Amino acid sequence: PILVVEDNPETIFAYEKYFQESNYQMISARTLNAAKQALVAFQPIAIMLDILLEKENTWAFLLETNSNETTRNIPILVISVVDNEKQVMARGAEGFLIKPVDRFSLLNKLSRLVKQGRQQKLLLIDDDKTWRYVLKQLLVHIPLDILEAADGREGIRLAQVENPDCIVLDFNMPELSGIEVLNQLKSNGSTSTIPVIVNTSKQLEPEEQKFLAQHTVAILSKESLSQEVALAQLREALRKAGLFLDT
């Protein structure tokens, strides 16, 4: 969960839309008292803080959160209409954005804070070596450690051993199909929460479409697209999975 400390209803509504179809759950708090209760109840992985909450001492909250042993490791992203980045960073914030903020900038910044200091891992499970090469070329400018598996069994093994941040899974494979691999991943506690993006050249049946929509963050087509379109779709899917994409 991401704790959003914000008192403007329109801004909260915008953030709710931004988090839809992402890998994050938004918990909102309109007062600092509610925020402190949410910190205990939900143990968020990051905090988004409006530093100018009406009638609230948010500067004290920022300092307190960073000095408290139970909360000091939670990264805080301050979002403000005033450009006071130097002040908030000096008081312990780990990120800053100016309002209004767009969806890409917000999700990218959050993902960078959550994964700071750790190389992101992406696992490609596809029996087609050529297609794995195509995907790697599309991802060459994104900071990723890319792992490869040429079949479903090896993919499941690597997922358990390497715990990647995201998996791109081919739907049509011999031996274990994409659905069988997905079922095994989701039924294993060590891999059940890893976001999965399905890549397919198959025309999906309605039941397959419904199943994949419930268990994956995105469904991408292998059908011939321009490189620009394919890259845009892949980047959007990776953002939904919670990866940061800038270098």
169-181 pLDDT per residue, tens: 999 888 888 899 9
Question: What phi and psi values does residue 84 have, to the nearest 5 degrees?
Answer: -120, 40
Cα dihedral 79, 81, 82, 84, rounded to 10, equals 10
Q: How far apart are the first and last CA of the chain?
A: 25
Contact 50, 5 (CB under 8 A): yes
- Tell me the whole-structure pTM to 2 decimals: 0.67
Strands 121-125 vs 166-170: parallel, antiparallel or unpaired = parallel
5 SS3 class: strand
Structure tokens at 32: 């600092």
Give the model confidence (pLDDT) of 178-237 as tens digits.
899 999 999 999 999 999 999 988 788 888 888 898 899 999 988 766 788 888 889 889
